[in-house]
Amino acid sequence: MTAHILVVNSDPAQRRQIKSLVETQGHVVHAAENAASAFEKMVSLGSDLRVALLDLTMSGLDVNHFLSLANQSEGDAAVVVLADDGKVEAAVDAMRHGAFDFIVSPAAPERIAHAVSNALRVNERRAARLSRSRRTSQISFGEIVAVSGAMTRVVDLARRSASSAIPVILEGENGVGKQMVARAIHGAGDRSGKPFVAVSCGAMTPESLDAMLFGEEGGADEHGAGKIASAHGGTLFLDEVDALPLDVQARLLQLVQGGEISSHDGRRQRKVDVRLTSSTRKDLIEEVKAGRFREDLYFRMNVFPIMIPALRRRRDDIPYLARAFVERFSAEQRRAHPLGISADVLALLTSYDWPGNVRQLENAVYRAVILASGSELTEADFPQIAIQVAKNAGTDRHAAAQEPAAHRSFNRDAEEKAAAGSAMGLSHRDSERLVAAAQNPAVLSDNYIVSVDSAGNVRKLSEIEEELIRFALKYYRGQMSQVARKLGIGRSTLYRKLKDYGIDPDNPQSDVA
């Protein structure tokens, strides 16, 4: 299969070498020697671009913006980043923001050829998936994985908003699923049979964004009458609304206030019936204070805010999301049976912080399913995640080793509390518990576990276990990996016990409703 490949490299020798190598695979190669040329070629290629080989050492290149443009393109181009030994951290960060793979330079030609082939395989299936999703873009709330209490509350709020035309703003980090929630709100409301039009404000220049939303003068250009007019009767979703230029905000305010859009000269107005939903990853109040966002528009749009938590704040959802992705991608690959996913993999995925959130998890699972050779996904299918988890574990151990020196004065206070405990007649063990509580400001000094009840009888083991789990969740501030490790049990066992005892991990002192 012949594909259009973009090679972005500032070194002429490397650029020629990679270009020649990829051309021997039968592909059409476009070369860019600087950042400006790279963005220009990416825009001109549009949906024809399948893979980009990106040199991270290039000066003046905004890697995250490049990845954002690649992910926004119709072909959803796969990006493979190349980095020398000193840039491995930057390569890993690029993976977090959507890069498909990274190669450490200098690399063997076979490694580069293999990366391009894998990227094309994934891209081909991804393009087919995007095509199907556009034909059936309706999303129901039942498709949103909401096992954790935090995500259950998000879905509940979103359901309540669906029955009205109230403006909704979805807040949260990139990749948490804001557009999916917006589509579910649209699909559950009275406008479900009408268009859902999404506009990514952060991936466009101010001029093209204005034309995209409102249309060019005369309305006969490639944008037609504009996305706002296209959404008539339905929903307009503005992703990264904080990126709107002030002049575009002024025109949008007219739509929000009176349901009209005007021409650039202000002489012609047109009535438009749209429901406005939007998303942001920034604090819009701070944007208003900084003068980057209009205060009047903010109060018009921020009527029904919904905060979607980062994936690391709702780790209970990760195993269910991973299984759902594996099942979906296995079906798309027309496998006779869905791939299995081992308990070790679920533990690995749950212990990772996922800075790219659900989108990063989805891409990681998708890559693993496409390239899997066995009947079950293993840790070997997630090499980058395994490396990061191991590295983070090493960092945690190093920090723990350094803690006594860094907190010597703090621990002296804890020792004083222990002495005070002995003076109060507490046993040595209870004094130790008091020290443990004093060493963690989040834990109150009276949080120790009582072994006997008011009648002097030893309490039931299940009662003490439940109390200990609640204490550990509070003591370690909900860090599930650390809680399970300190309790000496597996994560899956911990999750089962939370369910058995009805403990809300986000609020361990209360029960799950």
- Identify whether the C-beta of residue 340 lies closer than 8 Å to the C-beta of residue 202: no
Considering the domain boundaries, does residue 330 fall inside one?
no
Considering the domain boundaries, does residue 304 fall inside one?
yes
- CA-closest candidate to residue 61, choices 52, 73, 51: 52
Considering the domain boundaries, does residue 27 fall inside one?
yes
What pLDDT score was predicted for residue 306? 94
pLDDT per residue rounded down to tens, the chain (513 residues): 567 889 998 888 888 888 888 888 888 888 888 888 888 788 777 777 888 898 887 877 778 778 777 765 545 678 888 887 667 777 777 777 778 888 887 778 888 888 888 888 776 655 555 544 444 457 888 889 888 888 989 999 999 999 888 999 999 998 899 999 999 999 999 998 899 999 988 877 777 888 888 876 544 334 446 889 899 999 999 999 999 999 999 989 988 888 888 766 566 778 889 999 999 999 999 999 999 999 999 999 999 999 999 999 999 899 999 998 998 888 887 777 778 898 889 989 999 999 889 999 998 999 899 888 888 999 889 988 888 888 776 665 555 555 454 444 444 444 454 444 444 444 444 444 444 444 443 433 344 566 766 666 788 888 888 888 888 887 777 778 778 888 888 888 888 888 888 888 877 776 654
Residues 50 and 70 in one domain: yes
Residues 129 and 12 in one domain: yes
Q: CB-hemisphere CA count at 13 Å for 121?
A: 15
Residues 427 and 483 in one domain: yes
Q: Does residue 491 sit in helix, strand or coil?
A: helix
Residues 281 and 165 in one domain: yes
What pLDDT score was predicted for residue 266? 60
CA distance 391 to 374: 27
Q: What is the CATH number of the domain that holds 150?
A: 3.40.50.300
What pLDDT score was predicted for residue 422? 44
Residues 284 and 194 in one domain: yes
Considering the domain boundaries, does residue 319 fall inside one?
no
Dihedral (Cα; 436, 438, 440, 444), 10-degree rounding: 100
CA distance 169 to 306: 6
Segments forming the whole domain that contains residue 393 = 336-403
Q: Which residues contact 34 (CB under 8 A, 6 or more apart)?
A: 10, 58, 60
- What's the total number of domains in the chain? 4
Residues 36 and 174 in one domain: no
From 112, 135, 158, give the residue that closes a domain. Answer: 135
Considering the domain boundaries, does residue 512 fall inside one?
no
- Identify whether the C-beta of residue 433 lies closer than 8 Å to the C-beta of residue 446: no
Q: What is the CATH number of the domain that holds 21?
A: 3.40.50.2300
From 135, 164, 194, give the residue that closes a domain. Answer: 135
